[in-house]
Structure formats: structure tokens, C-alpha cells
């Protein structure tokens, strides 16, 4: 994983049906809109 400051862009993971768990590094300061729309298996910890 890159150690630079970078956003997770609009719709980056939208409709990713297999996505269940992800780790967001501290270097990500911005998560734009609709990133997880349609990701039905992603749960809040």
C-alpha cells in the first residue's frame, strides 16, 4: 500500500459484491461520495 496522502475516489468500490472487509490506511484523509454504494456484504466493525 502506498504511504502517500490520497483520497478514495467517487464510486471506487461501488457494486463490488465480493467486498466484505477492508482496511483504510491512515494516509487516506478523504473518502468521497458513493464509494460503497451497492456493497451489500460490507459491515461496520
pTM of the predicted structure, to 2 decimals: 0.69
Higher pLDDT, 15 or 25: 15
Q: At 40, give phi and psi (nearest 5°).
A: -75, -20
Higher pLDDT, 7 or 5: 7
Q: 45: pLDDT confidence band, cut at 50, 70 and 90?
A: low
Q: Rounded to an integer, what distance in angstroms lies between the CA atom of residue 7 and that of residue 5?
A: 7
Q: Is the pLDDT of residue 27 over 70?
A: yes
Cβ-Cβ contacts under 8 Å for 32 (sequence gap 6 or more): 7, 8, 9, 10, 12
Amino acid at each position: 500500500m502506498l504511504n502517500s496522502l490520497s483520497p478514495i475516489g467517487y464510486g471506487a468500490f461501488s457494486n463490488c459484491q465480493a467486498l466484505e472487509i477492508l482496511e483504510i490506511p491512515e494516509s487516506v484523509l478523504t473518502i468521497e461520495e458513493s464509494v460503497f454504494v451497492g456493497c451489500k456484504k460490507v459491515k461496520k466493525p
